[in-house]
Copies of this chain bind each other. A is one copy, B any other.
Amino acid sequence: MKVLILGGGGFLGQKLAKALAARRSLRGQPVTALVLADLAAPAALDAPFPVRCVALDITRRAAVDALLQAERPAVIYHLAAVVSGQAEAEFDLGMAVNLEGSRNVFEAARALASNPVVVFTSSIAVYGGEVPEPIEDWTALNPQTSYGTQKAAAELLLTDYSRRGFLDGRGLRLPTITVRPGKANRAASSFMSSIFREPLQGQEAVCPVGPEFEHWYLSPRRCIESLIHGAELKAADLGANRCFALPGHTHSIGAMVEALRKVAGEAPVARIRWEPDPAIQRIVLGWKARFNPAKALALGFRGDDSFEENIRYFLEDDLQPAA
């Protein structure tokens, strides 16, 4: 089977591609080819099957159609998005990529008339507002960012397109993924990785919230496992809503810093500078921190066992020694 990853140049797309190359199969069938698409064509990848890397702007409907018609993937990972901070700063771009772009992907999948599996990465940014906590599987989505709004609207379409048999959608609401490798980005949550990543790599980092700030986290390693598992689930097990929150863990920044100290000692902890940033706080304080992801747990998804584990995964999988 052929697999397409939209957003294949991003850090999750790249890790997912490597995971597919390592496991060689998906949904009980051998992976015969992989297509990685992103705004700029992603870098090539060693794999036991052909890997094609293409440039694609998902806001261009005809280009999305052309790629899907040419490749006819059986599984489509739609990870392409403008991140939260940028979607808040550039509203029209966020709408074009995150909502219209997603619809272009779903329409192109529909046009295949083969009911392809579409794994869509949504986000816990869909939650907010006046709802009881913990967040349950039936809690209303009331996003307090444009990014969350666009993800929530795309989720609704994914479920309806699935109900109609246009595609076989699975929308996974990702916790904040920590510790992300690479560089800081314009996600408002970016600091939640950089305050661990940069100090572990010998650099300073700024924490814009206090140690009492609580949030919901998942490691990149478990996230990739979840993306694989999301494709492999039986459609019949998904019920009336194709979109749900993934398991994670609630940690305070203070407890996470203690985990850092436990795993890596005093030196990286001393490299964190605490500087409150009201613009970032305005976004992240509207996010929810406590979840009961019963549906995902019943479907066999799993979170991390402790934040020490997240730190160790980063050291094993992603540490880049300082230049």
- B-contacting residues of A (Cβ < 8 Å)? 91, 128-132, 137-144, 146, 149, 152-153, 156-157, 159-160, 163-164, 239-241
Contact = CB atoms under 8 A, between A and B. Distances in A.
Contact of A138 (B130, B144, B239, B240): B130
Contacts of A239: 129-130
Given A141-B156, A142-B240, A153-B157, 7 more contacts: A128-B240, A130-B239, A132-B138, A138-B139, A139-B139, A144-B240, A149-B159
A287 to B, nearest CB: 13
Contact of A149 (B140, B141, B146, B156): B156
Contacts of A129: 239-241
Given A130-B241, A153-B153, A240-B128, A160 B138 contact: no
B130 A240 contact: yes
Nearest to A138: B131
Given A130-B241, A152-B156, A153-B156, A140 B143 contact: no
Given A130-B241, A239-B130, A157 B149 contact: yes
Contacts of A130: 137-138, 239-241
A156 B160 CA distance: 16
Contacts of A132: 138
A236 B65 CA distance: 44
Contacts of A128: 240
Given A138-B131, A153-B157, A164 B91 contact: yes
A143 B131 contact: no
A159 B141 CA distance: 11
A129 B142 CA distance: 18
For A129, A130, A142, the residue with the greatest tally of chain B CB atoms inside 10 Å of its CB is A142
Contacts of A142: 138, 159, 240-241
A283 to B, nearest CB: 12
A294 to B, nearest CB: 11
B144 A163 contact: yes
- When A and B form their complex, which 8 residue pairs have the shortest distance between CB atoms, in order from nearest? A129-B240, A149-B160, A131-B138, A153-B153, A142-B241, A138-B140, A153-B156, A149-B156
A152 B130 CA distance: 18
29 contacts: A128-B240, A129-B239, A129-B240, A129-B241, A130-B137, A130-B240, A130-B241, A132-B138, A137-B140, A138-B139, A138-B140, A139-B139, A139-B140, A141-B141, A141-B156, A142-B159, A142-B240, A142-B241, A143-B160, A144-B163, A146-B160, A146-B164, A149-B157, A149-B159, A149-B160, A152-B156, A153-B153, A153-B157, A156-B156
A183 to B, nearest CB: 28
Contacts of A143: 156, 160
A142 B160 CA distance: 9
Contacts of A240: 128-130, 142, 144
For A129, A131, A132, A138, the residue with the greatest tally of chain B CB atoms inside 10 Å of its CB is A138
